[in-house]
Amino acid sequence: MPVLLLAQGDPQAKDLLRRAIEARYGASPPAIESLDIEMKGRTRARIGPVSAWIPLEIQARFRFPSAMRWDFIVRPVGVAVQRGVDAFDGAVYRRQRGGDPPDVIEDQNLVQSAQRRLWALAALFLTPLGEHFVRLSHTDDHGFEAANTLINDAVRLRLRPDCALEQVEVTCFNPDSGRDQRFSLRLSAEQGPVDGMMLPRKISAFWDDEPYFEAEPARVVSNPDIADSVFTLAEGASA
């Protein structure tokens, strides 16, 4: 069965996306309208005067084309567990840290950075890039750009010689350094099924070439019913 693409853009970019989807999912790729994925790994963090790897748990939820949420828990040894949420409901970016009430973030550097990084994560699953709200453009023989026309953000994708997705990259504001940097998500060459969906074994994130986090998919639910309150961080929304 051929991969059906509704995305806008040039034929070369569409062909690269089609090849990447087939390299991941074969001839029957999943139609993904919403997604709930949990990952476990580690992140770089400063503890006192030193930087170290500490355990990390992630839950990412998407309702395409533009609602996205990222929950994380870090568990430093000898330090209280730290929790955080970043959520975009398609219009408003909200952030919550610890047990504090969520804040509406209006700083455009932070808003655009969060949107771009969440869209980069969404691009890892490939099939959402084939939808009508995406514009594809060819960059070279092993790469293309995917722009989400509803939120006006684009990410760059690079494929391996066998057309499997190798990396997703975007330039955006790093809240920790206070400057624009290259944010990339690099995928392991190995992949395998997680709850019936073929995924890379490991995802590693970098700011420029500095490690940010690395994680392995642990659970995935395709096309769950996700309430609006999850993305608006309304009281009572599931964490």
**Does pLDDT of 165 surpass 50?**
yes
Sort strands 203-207 and 165-174 into parallel, antiparallel or unpaired.
unpaired
Mean pLDDT throughout 114-130? 90
In this predicted model, what pLDDT tens digit does every residue of 35-48 receive, in sequence order?
999 999 999 877 66
pTM, two decimal places: 0.90
Taking alpha carbons only, the member of 150, 199, 205 closest to residue 172 is: 205
- The domain spans of the chain are 8-232
Confidence at residue 181, expressed as pLDDT on a 0 to 100 scale: 97
3-state helix, strand, coil in the chain (%, to 5): 15, 50, 35
| Size of the chain in residues | 239
Exposed e or buried b per residue across 63-98, where buried means at least 16 C-beta atoms within 10 angstroms of its C-beta: bbbbbbbbbbebeeeeeeeeeebbbbbeeebbbbee
82 Cβ partners below 8 Å, 6+ apart?
Answer: 73, 74, 75, 76, 97, 98
Whether the link from the prior residue into 65 is cis, omega within 30° of 0, is yes
d(C-alpha 17, C-alpha 136), whole Å: 9
161 secondary structure, DSSP code: T
Cα 169 from Cα 185, distance rounded (Å): 6
One-letter identity of residue 114: A
Question: Does domain 8-232 correspond to CATH entry 2.50.20?
Answer: yes
Burial of 196 (0-12, 13-18, 19+ CB in 10 A): exposed
Instruction: Tell whether the model's pLDDT for residue 118 goes beyond 90.
Output: no
For residue 1, the model assigns a pLDDT of 40
Phi, psi of 105 (to 5 degrees): -95, 125
